[in-house]
Amino acid sequence: HLTLGIETSCDETSFAVVAGGRRILANVVLSQTGEHRRYGGVVPELASRRHVTNAVPLLQAALAEAGIGLGDLDLIAVTRGPGLVGALLVGVSLAKALAWALDKPLVGVHHLAGHVYANFLAPPGGDTAPEPRYPAVTLVVSGGHTDLFHLEAGGGLRWLGGTRDDAAGEAFDKVARELGLGYPGGPVIDRLAAQGDPGAFAFPRAMLDDDTLDFSFSGLKTAVLYELERRGWRDPDRRAELEAHLPDLAASFQQAVVDVLVAKTLRAARQVGARQIYLAGGVAANRRLRHDLGVAAAAAGLDLAYPPPVLCTDNGAMIAAAGFAAWQRGRRDGLDLDVDPDPPLDEWF
């Protein structure tokens, strides 16, 4: 059974062919990060227009890589949201045209369900997919999202909590910009932090002691700014002094983010009686997060798993995986499927 997965929710255009919901035959991803970099973030109209020009050639490339024709597809799965409306429209319109022309079923997928299901794909080039373990808790951390989900027996998802303001990746990006480190900020901060002291600066751990599973990162970003201001390090003449402290600033900021993510994820796991913790989204690449969450999970007798880096960031294969699971459970969308910038997480996505 071959699923075509289509992802155009933000600044990656991606098409994938996935067999049986688990084995990747092709996963072609074109990231526009380089084009948006000079604006310091994703420019929605530019993203939509790049999807329009790149979509069909990338689809052709994915089919060629999988060694199949359009007629071999059994299911069309496409991200319906959350995301940028104009960007989503490109993928959804193309998906509907394909479903109609090929007379194949169509499934609209919640983008975050895709991130969760990236954990159940065989790693690229491999044949054996990890068996999902239930009940589990999944932390999805990316540039636009910080959410905890309960992965219930059978594969359904229930939202447990999320950020009330900035996403974790957004905090990395904004702090990196203030430190003059460019965009995207996560990888640079990760690298710098490895040489710094996480205890050098005392940054706040917001909402750590309340009993919700929600997050807040905008105060942390403000605290970093305030520290720079207080020390006079926003003065361009004192750039050298700032630079000397960059590793400590990066390590202290990163640790504040990681501490909250780890504590809330473990609390969620306790609440739902999880056996397993999954990590997903671009920030899942963060080495400190992987390390600290792994240690905390082990201490609680839980396993931690995360997808390989190419499956952590936006890609079509994860949409195919989630779409296939939803389709197996009977989900079908009509040709009147709409995009939704912030859709509810229905029982089957």
The annotation places the binding site at: 111, 115, 140-144, 173, 186, 190, 286, 314
Taking CB under 5 A as the criterion, the residue among 28, 314, 316, 323 binding Fe ion is 314
Asked whether the beta carbons of 157 and 151 are under 8 A apart, the reply is: yes
Provide the β-strand partners of residue 108.
Answer: 78
Cα 49 to Cα 112: distance, rounded to the nearest angstrom = 23
Closer CB to ligand ATP, 63 or 82, in the complex? 82
User: What tokens were used for 39?
Assistant: 């604006």
- Stretch binding ligand ATP (CB under 6 A), from 63-71, 88-96, 123-131, 276-284: 276-284
Q: Which CB atom, from 5 or from 196, has the smaller least distance to Mg ion?
A: 5
Which residues carry a binding-site annotation for Fe cation?
111, 115, 314
Q: 119 or 315, CB closer to Mg ion?
A: 315
State the Cα–Cα distance between residues 168 and 166, nearest whole angstrom.
Answer: 6
C-alpha pair distances (Å), 27 with each of 15, 48, 299: 6, 20, 36
| CA gap 318, 339 in Å, rounded | 18
Q: In what order do the strands lie in the sheet with 75-81?
A: 23-31, 12-19, 2-7, 75-81, 106-110
The tokens describing 104, both together, are: 């194949």
**SS3 of 333, please?**
strand
Stretch in the footprint of ligand ATP (CB under 6 A) among 61-69, 206-214, 233-241, 282-290? 282-290
State the binding partner of 214 from ligand ATP, Fe ion, Mg ion, none, CB within 5 to 8 A by kind: none
Q: How far is the CB of 9 from Mg ion (least distance, A)?
A: 9
CB of 17 to Mg ion, least distance (A): 21
Quick check: 114 and 14 in contact, CB under 8 A? no
* Structure letter (DSSP) for residue 133: -
x/- letters, 213..232, toward ligand ATP (CB under 6 A): --------------------
Q: Tell me the window of 72-80, 136-144, 191-199, 291-299 that interacts with Fe ion (CB under 5 A).
A: 136-144
Contacts of 7 (CB under 8 A, 6+ apart): 13, 14, 15, 16, 78, 79, 91, 111, 114, 314, 315, 316, 318, 319
The answer to whether the CB of 320 falls within 8 A of the CB of 19 is no
From the list 4-12, 224-232, 261-269, 295-303, the region that binds ligand ATP by CB under 6 A is 4-12
**Contact letters for ligand ATP, residues 137-156 (x by CB under 6 A):** -----xxxx-----------
Map residues 139-158 to x or -, x wherever contact with Fe ion holds by CB under 5 A. ---x----------------
Residue 74 Cβ vs Mg ion, minimum distance, rounded to whole Å? 28
Q: By C-alpha distance, which of 95, 86, 131 is closest to 14?
A: 95
Which residues of this chain interact with ligand ATP, rule CB under 6 A? 9-11, 83, 142-145, 169, 172-173, 184-187, 190, 281-283, 285-286, 313-314
Which residues of this chain interact with Mg ion, rule CB under 5 A? 10-11
